[in-house]
Amino acid sequence: MTLFSANLGFLWTELALPDAIRAAKAAGFDAVEFHWPYDVDPANVRAALLETGLPVLGLNTRRGDVPAGENGLAALPGREKEARSAIDEALAYARAVGAGAVHVMAGRTEGEAARQTFLDNLRYACAEAGHDRIILIEPLNPWDAPGYFLNRTEQAAEIITEIAAPNLRLMFDCYHVGRTEGDVVARLRALWPLIGHIQFASVPDRGAPDHGSLDYAPIFAEIVALGWARPLGAEYKVAGATEDSLAWLHALRGR
List the catalytic residues: 138, 235
Q: Residue 5 contacts by C-beta under 8 Å, 6 or more apart in sequence?
A: 29, 30, 31, 32, 33, 57, 231, 232, 233, 234
What does residue 19 show for φ and ψ, rounded to 5 degrees? -70, -35
Residue 112: C-alpha distances to residues 87, 115, 118, 171 (Å) = 22, 5, 10, 22
| Dist CA 169 CA 101 (whole Å) | 10
> What's the CA dihedral at 18, 24, 27, 29 to 10 degrees?
-150
Strand locations in 18-111 (E): 31-33, 58-60, 101-103
Whether the Cβ atoms of residue 74 and residue 107 lie closer than 8 Å to each other: yes
Residue 134: C-alpha distances to residues 45, 84, 130, 167, 232 (Å) = 20, 16, 8, 5, 16
Whether the Cβ atoms of residue 75 and residue 115 lie closer than 8 Å to each other: yes
Whether the Cβ atoms of residue 184 and residue 209 lie closer than 8 Å to each other: no
Q: Residue 64 contacts by C-beta under 8 Å, 6 or more apart in sequence?
A: 70, 71, 72, 73, 76, 79, 82, 86, 107
